[in-house]
Amino acid sequence: MIVKNFFGTTAKGEAVDIYTLRNSSETAVDILTYGATVNSIYVADKNGNFADVLSGFDTLEGHEKFSDYQGMTVGRYANRIAGGKFSIDGVEYNVEKNEKGITCLHGGAELSTAVWKAFIVDDNSIEMNYTSPDGAMGFPGKVDFKVTFTLHEDNALKIEYSAVSDKKTVINMTNHAYFNLAGKGDILAHELMINADAYTPIDENSIPTGEIRSVEGTPFDFRTAKPIGRDIDADDDQLAIGKGYDHNFCLNDSDGPIATAYEPESGRFLEVFTDLCGVQLYTGNFLDGTKIGKNGDPLIRNAGFCLETQFYPNTPNMPEFPQCTVDAGEKFTSCTVFRFSVK
Ligand code: BGC
């Protein structure tokens, strides 16, 4: 069942709607037209008690004032582009350097702050559309973006992305949900598994150095589930740069989940599936309690963790990484599934 309501008005005066997708077990997902944002996911714990497992905001004002992309659709290029520039066929493009004036982070936030057009597809799906003009944030091509959200009966939220540009360009889309399966506190006790033998170490600007480093014997080894907090404060150069985990993992080929998370007290279990080659694990390290989130509670350090499925960061400048360039008229597609259950 899908219900549409008015959510609020942006500072610019645009009306924003909230769509609630609900299945027969009362699992519910709230999606905003602002940023095509997954605002809340209500799932039962092992005793049948429901909680919202996304850290974020309950007002539009919160999103506009405090957002670190909580729940948002991110693009055109999720994650970072070094120096805010790259070339395609010998033409250099300078894109928004919205991170400390040095890097382009999350495509300059255009998609995340746009108000998308929404359509109800059927009883469990909605589609959101946004057209980004040629040159937006410095990126080439007018691009038609589409994101479809489907809530299945097995409590899987499927997010399908597509984009078609009228010029050769780069596309890397993700969702930036901050999960907290307890619905409160921090996420350090969540037991996380990531099916990755390697990750991409970063420099001081959080740009991959180009090395594909084995996780073996490092705090980045999540191949067997372990509490996020176990090694997060280990003496490690990479953790020091990110103030915790803020790194891309190179996913192993598999039909199974690329990541799982289990919260022992509630018994809630999350499985993540994707057709993409990377995932950014970000453990909310830069949250410091000064921003106010849902229910007026401060967003504390490690309030949520993100599993941002993606192409590796800075791909347009790293020819050795899998590429995300699309030709004019070529359709970019990707799909990520977040499935909830209890154990
Ligand atoms: C980045 C973090 C950043 C966060 C919020 C993540 O994808 O890797 O460094 O703080 O997004 O912008």
For every residue of 36-49, DSSP letters joined together read TEEEEEEEE-TTS-
Cβ of 61 closer than 6 Å to ligand 1, yes or no, is: no
Atom of ligand 1 nearest to the CA of 206: 9
Quick one: average pLDDT of 22-46? Answer: 98
- Residue 65, pLDDT score: 96
Query: What's the whole-model pTM score?
Result: 0.98
Cβ of 305 closer than 6 Å to ligand 1, yes or no, is: no
Cβ of 77 closer than 6 Å to ligand 1, yes or no, is: no
Round to whole Å and give the CA distance between 133 and 139: 9
**Mean predicted lDDT score pLDDT of the chain:** 98
The token pair that represents 98 in the structure block:
């919205």
Domain total in the chain: 1
The token pair that represents 142 in the structure block:
């007018």
Q: Is 176 a catalytic residue?
A: yes
Q: Is 61 a catalytic residue?
A: no
Atom of ligand 1 nearest to the CA of 313: 8
Q: Of all protein residues, whose CA lies closest to atom 12 belonging to ligand 1?
A: 68
Q: Which residue has the tokens 């549409």?
A: 4
Quick one: average pLDDT of 4-8? Answer: 98
Catalytic residue among 96, 110, 127, 176: 176
- Residue 289, pLDDT score: 97
- Residue 4, pLDDT score: 98
- Residue 112, pLDDT score: 98
Cβ of 280 closer than 6 Å to ligand 1, yes or no, is: yes
Buried residues in 153-185 as b, exposed as e (16+ CB within 10 A): eebbbbbbbbbbbebbbbbbbbbbbbbbbbbee
Q: Of all protein residues, whose CA lies closest to atom 5 belonging to ligand 1?
A: 68
Q: How confident is the model at residue 30 (pLDDT cuts 50, 70, 90)?
A: very high
For every residue of 188-205, DSSP letters joined together read TT-EEEE-EEEEE-B-TT
Ligand 1 pocket test, pick from 55, 69, 199, 299 with the greatest ligand atom count within 8 Å of Cβ, gives 69
Q: What percent of the chain has pLDDT over 90?
A: 99
Indicate the residue type of 320.
Answer: E
Task: Kindly give, in sequence order, each residue whose CB lies less than 8 Å from that of residue 231, ignoring residues fewer than 6 positions away.
Answer: 219, 239
pLDDT tens-place string over residues 273-325: 999 999 999 999 999 999 999 999 999 999 999 999 999 999 999 999 999 99
Domain extent, residue 153, equals: 2-342
- Residue 104, pLDDT score: 98
Round to whole Å and give the CA distance between 163 and 146: 6
Q: How confident is the model at residue 36 (pLDDT cuts 50, 70, 90)?
A: very high
